[in-house]
Amino acid sequence: MSSEFHILQESLKDFLINAQSDSYNSRNLSLPKYNNLKIYMDSNQNRTPHFIVRIGISEAMYNIMNGEKIGGGLGSDERYIRRWMDRSTIKSDLQAVWKKNEKVKPVTVTEDPDD
C-alpha cells in the first residue's frame, strides 16, 4: 500500500513542478514546498471514493470518480490536481488503490427487544 501511494505522490509532485515550471510565473515556484506532499485516503472520513492531497499545512479532498473537490483547499495548486487526474492512468490507479484499501465494516442487524 505504501509503495502505491509513494508512486502516486511522486507522479503528482513531478506533474506540479513541471506544470508550474512551464508557466509564466515559474520564478515564484517553490520546489521545497512539494517535499512534504502526501496523498492518502480515509474511508472512515468519507465513504465516497476519494483521495486527500496534503501540501504543507493545506489539504483538499477530491472525488476519484469525477475529480471534483469535496472539501479543503490547496490555493494556487488546486487547478493542477484535476489536470493531473485527467492523465492516462491516474484515475484508474486511484480507483484500484481505493478498492484495495477500502475496509468495509460489516453491518450487523440486531433484533429490537420491543418486537
Q: Supply the pLDDT for residue 87.
A: 86
Q: What is the mean pLDDT of residues 101-106?
A: 54
- The residue ranking higher by pLDDT, 71 or 29, is 71
Whether the predicted pLDDT of 62 surpasses 80: yes
Burial class (CB in 10 A: 0-12, 13-18, 19+), 37: middle
Strand partners, 59: 54, 73
Q: Which residue has the cell 509513494?
A: 6
Would you kindly state where each structural domain of the chain is located, as residue ranges? 2-101
Q: Which residue has the cell 491516474?
A: 90
**Tens-digit pLDDT profile for residues 74-96:** 988 888 888 999 887 899 899 88
| Whether pTM exceeds 0.85 | no
